[in-house]
Amino acid sequence: MSHIKIDLRKEDVDFIKGVCASYNNDTQELINVLHSCQEHFGYLPAEVQEVVSEGLNVPVAKVYGVVTFYSFFTMTPKGKHPISICLGTACYVRGAEKVLDEFKKELGIQVGESTQDNKFSLSSLRCVGACGLAPVVLVGDKTYGRVAPDDVKGILKEYE
Amino acid sequence: MQYLSDNQNSMETIKLTIDNKEIEVPKGTTILKAAKELGIDIPTLCYMHLEDMNIENKPAGCRICVAEVEGRRNLAPSCSTNCEERMVVKTHTTRVLNARRTVMEFILSDHPKDCLICAKSGNCELQSMAHRLGIREIPGSEYAEMSTYREDTSPSIIRDLDKCIMCRRCEMMCNEVQTVGALSAINRGFMATVAPAFEQNLEHSTCTYCGQCVAVCPTGALTEVNHVPNVLRALADSTKTVIVQTAPAVRVALGEEFGLAPGTLVTGKMTAALRALGFDYVFDTDFAADLTIMEEGTELLDRLSRHLKGDTTARLPILTSCCPGWVNFFEYYFPDLKDVPSTAKSPQQMFGAIAKSYFAEKIGINRKDLVVISIMPCLAKKYECQRDEFSVDGNPDVDYSISTRELASFIKQANIDIKNLHDEEFDSPLGESTGAGVIFGTTGGVIEAACRTAYELYTGKKLERIDFTELRGMEGVRETTLDFNGTPINIGIAHGLGNARKLLNDVRSGKSKYHAIEVMACPGGCIGGGGQPLHHGNSEIIKARAAAIYAEDKNKPLRKSHENPFIIKLYEEFLGKPNSEKAHHLLHTQYFDKKKKIIIKH
């Protein structure tokens, strides 16, 4: 796991503490707090988790446990255009792995990584519920259906 | 038919049948407990219940304890399934036995196969279960992938998470019982494991090294750092004089590693074995415990009398400070209260300081040629003896600390037949102790020892009753008011760090009414320490050890620390009086603020 070190500014700490306070510093609201923080920062580096831990009086190990358990939470920044390939059952049997391999090849990154210029990041998903369109690829909010490995170059070109 | 007293309040009972036997149980009883009453021992793995300490782990995760319940489609985990009226349970049908075997095979398929060299071999709950279930092969092991993790070594504890079976006991102890929160389950599925935040090394977390995680781990995932090779090297070095000190909690548990019943006192045999191993002097930490009482008792009386005279700078309550797990805990979580604990060092460290000064002088040896080893029920002691402040010019007061388990292993390696040794005595002068020194090993013992001395020094009268039974017991938080000839002294006692936290929160908010608080990090006190023979979830073992401690105390001719003639001599010849400049320099310490700070960039 590549851990990025960041420097927190006072306004960052204040923001996080503010979110915790808006939930009454209730330990049970950890997931909601993490959602708000990820929306604001784009990701949840260790330094942010430490402030959340202090704000909600939850051990930082537990915060880390929740962050790593849910695939939505990420400790590395997502690219400007986050690409998610669905590997659920329908997509999988219709060749989603080959599509994933093509994205890996074109971008030169592994699942969970971002490109050098932070333009694209790659992740895999479980079923998004659009099985009729399998294999499904999401780029940001846009959904692509019936994606074949040959379509990958074209999709990436749209974000040039 | 048997009645269980699990649930006294609701007298509503339930009748059910287990393996064709009828039983009536209070509502809320689980199938597992009901079966036990019938003499049916359903195997369990992740489940653990230390009944006398109110500590229970039942994540229903391993699924080893499954049983067939008529009318239920799936097998039920008996540890977490409550009995219901007219329930019919079968605990060893073919379906159950096959399921149990399959579960076991899955667990073993992702487990390293190094029993031959694993520290837990012979003492491993997973190994015992595989044996009990007659596992002879693991289908798919030729090609099955294994989840592997980076091994992590701290001063006291080794984490080898390849061997973790996700029983969650360590997480439960660390979070619910100790409220330290250094460990948490992380990730999901195949890569799920238990780790400190950000999967850092344990030594960068808030781990106090209390070792309770090690004490409950059913596999070799969590073990102690092994210093036996270092001890062996010292003993083999002819230029070194090697001294050993043994903690009180060791002598009431060591015998268990050799098949003796829990609570068997093996003081004499332990001493003989240590001599047979080649130690030049076999001394007793209890001597240093008596010394601790002299220093800490003086400190307590000083703060108390100043307080009674209206001196607002007198800091009360005073907290005991002999437990390094506890010291780490308040340095992390209550550094604002750094001036509250006693400044007295622990008996282990006082012993080292005196051995390498007073005793070294007596036998005419340079402290660099002296090696001090301690045998402790504790894993935090391994960390404690490495603390920078406990050394002189880089030479530590205590060189290595080994646990009761390591000593037993060492004795076995040296082919010493400990059970058949004749009892021997400790050497003089650092081996003579009173009963007050012995009771340090159990919860309530330190404060009782302190009170025996404080009472007589404060009132000038002789104690009519030496046994302060009101300070004894296994409840997590205990309190009592003692009468020091008209002056009421409020005593608080906590064992288990979660209980200590409760008392410390009151001290911080100013609500604490105690004059003195004793804290031991481990449930039960040192007798339940992280380095003791494993109890495997049986709290009766811990109770038996406590009983043996009090029995040893009762049999001692002297039972009050200030009456120890060798302690009196130590002050006359060397220290002067308690908290003299020399005593303060050698036997007192300071504490540090270790609270994690958020760093802000400006």
Residues B268-286 pLDDT 10s: 999 999 999 999 999 999 9
- The answer on pLDDT for A129 being more than 90 is no
Please tell me the predicted confidence (pLDDT) of residue B469: 96
What is the longest distance spanned by two Cα atoms in chain B?
80
Q: In the predicted model, what is the mean pLDDT of chain B?
A: 95
Q: B374 pairs with which residues across the strands?
A: B245, B401
Residues 6+ apart with CB under 8 A from B468: B444, B448, B451, B452, B482
Strands (E), chain A: 8-9, 81-86, 120-125, 137-139, 142-144
User: Length of chain A in residues, anyone?
Assistant: 160
CA distance A90 to A125: 12
Separation CA B369–CA B140 (nearest Å): 56
Taking every pair of Cα atoms in chain A, the longest distance, rounded to a whole number of angstroms, is: 51
Judged against a pLDDT cut of 70, whether residue B5 lies above it is answered with no
What local confidence, expressed as pLDDT, does residue B144 receive? 82
Rounded distance between C-alpha atoms, residue B172 and residue B169, angstroms: 5
Q: Which residues pair with B403 in a beta bridge?
A: B376
Q: Answer whether B221 touches A (CB < 8 Å).
A: no
Report the DSSP beta bridge partners of residue B193: B186
Q: How far apart are CA A36 and CA A40, in angstroms?
A: 6
Q: Does the structure show a pLDDT above 60 at B6?
A: no
Question: ∠ CA(B529), CA(B534), CA(B535), 5° rounding?
Answer: 95
Distance CA A111, CA B401 (A): 46
Q: Taking CB atoms and an 8 Å limit, are A59 and B182 in contact across chains?
A: yes
A104, A122 Cβ separation under 8 angstroms: yes
Q: Among all residues of chain B, which has the CA nearest to that of A13?
A: B600
Partners of B89 in beta bridges: B18, B69
Q: What distances in angstroms separate CA B302 from CA A113, B460, B481, B507, B542, one per listed residue?
A: 63, 15, 19, 19, 35
CB contact B150 to A (< 8 Å): no
Contact B121, B127 (CB under 8 A): yes
DSSP string, A90-120: HHHHTTHHHHHHHHHHHHT--TT-B-TTSSE
Give the dihedral sign, CA B292/B293/B296/B299: negative
Chain Cα centroid distance, residue A134: 21
Residue with tokens 């519920």: A129
The confidence band for B602, taking pLDDT boundaries of 50, 70 and 90, is low
Chain A contact for B196 (CB, 8 A cutoff) = yes
Contact by Cβ (8 Å): B333, A60: no
As separate numbers, helices (DSSP H) first and strands (DSSP E) second, chain A gives 7, 5
- Identify the three-state secondary structure at position A68: helix
Q: How far apart are CA A56 and CA A18, in angstroms?
A: 11
pLDDT of A1 strictly over 50: no
CA gap A85, A96 in Å, rounded = 7
Overall average pLDDT of the A112-123 stretch: 90
- Do B538 and B125 form a contact (C-beta atoms < 8 A)? no
If DSSP codes are grouped into helix, strand and coil, which group holds residue B114? coil
Q: Is B186 close to A65, i.e. CB distance below 8 A?
A: yes
Has residue B8 got a pLDDT over 60? no
Residue whose structure tokens are 């935040």? B197
Mention every residue, 6+ apart, whose C-beta is less than 8 A from residue B163.
Answer: B111, B112, B118, B219, B220, B221
pLDDT given for residue B597 in this prediction: 84
- How many Cα atoms occupy the beta-carbon half-sphere of B123 within 13 Å? 25
Q: Which residue has the tokens 């060492």?
A: B410
Residues A62, B198: C-beta atoms closer than 8 Å? no
CB distance A61–B602 less than 8 Å? no
Confidence (pLDDT) at B2: 42
Task: Return the structure tokens found at B431.
Answer: 């081996």
pLDDT value at position B142? 84
Tell which B residues from 91 to 110 touch A, by Cβ distance under 8 Å: none
- B447, B487 contact by CB (below 8 A): no
B347, HSE (Cβ side, Cα atoms, 13 Å): 33
Nearest residue of chain B to residue A45 (CA atoms): B198
- The whole-angstrom separation of Cα A99 and Cα A106 is 11
pLDDT tens-digit map of B306-320: 999 999 999 999 999
What DSSP state is assigned to residue B320? -
Q: What is the full DSSP assignment across A15-28?
A: HHHHHHHHTTT-GG
Mean of pLDDT values over A26-33:
97
Q: How far apart are CA B124 and CA B172, in angstroms?
A: 19
SS3 B82: strand
> What is the three-state SS of B544-587?
HHHHHHHHHHHCCCCCCHHHCHHHHHHHHHHHCCCCCHHHHHHH
**Mind telling me how many Å the CA of A13 is from chain B's nearest CA?**
8
pTM of the model: 0.92
Query: Is pLDDT at B3 greater than 60 in this prediction?
Result: no
Q: Which residues on chain B are in Cβ contact (under 8 Å) with A62?
A: 175, 181, 184
Contact of B453 with B436, CB cutoff 8 Å: yes
Is pLDDT above 80 for A62?
yes
How far apart, in Å, do the first and last CA atoms of chain A sit?
A: 29
Judge: A68–B182 Cβ closer than 8 Å, yes or no.
no
Does B540 score more than 80 pLDDT? yes
What residue has token string 């149990």? Answer: B100
What pLDDT was estimated at residue A78? Answer: 86
Amino acid A3: pLDDT: 61
pLDDT digits (tens, 9 = 90+) for B216-239: 999 999 999 999 999 999 999 999
Q: Which residues of B touch A3 (CB under 8 A)?
A: 198
DSSP states of B118-157: -TTTTS-HHHHHHHHTT----TTTTT--------EE-SSE
CB contact at 8 A, B207 and B197: no
Q: What percent of chain B has pLDDT over 70?
A: 98
Burial of A41 (0-12, 13-18, 19+ CB in 10 A): middle
Residue B79 has pLDDT above 90, yes or no: yes
Interface of A with B (CB under 8 A): 1, 3, 7-10, 13, 46-47, 49-51, 54, 58-65, 68-69
Answer whether B196 sits within 8 Å of A10, measured CB to CB. no
Please state the rounded mean pLDDT for residues B503-510.
96
Arithmetic mean of pLDDT over chain A: 92
Distance of CA B101 to the CA centre of its chain: 34
DSSP secondary structure letters along B245-266: EE-HHHHTTGGGGGTPPTT---
At B12-54, the pLDDT tens digits run: 999 999 999 999 999 999 999 999 999 999 999 999 999 988 9
Segment B108-143, tens digit of pLDDT: 999 999 999 999 999 999 999 999 999 999 988 888
Q: Distance between CA atoms of B321 and B267, rounded to whole angstroms?
A: 25
- Under the phi-then-psi rule, with left for phi > 0, alpha for psi from -120 to 50, and beta for the rest, what region is B211? left
Residue-wise pLDDT tens digits, B564-578: 999 999 999 999 999
Cβ <8 Å between A69 and B187: yes
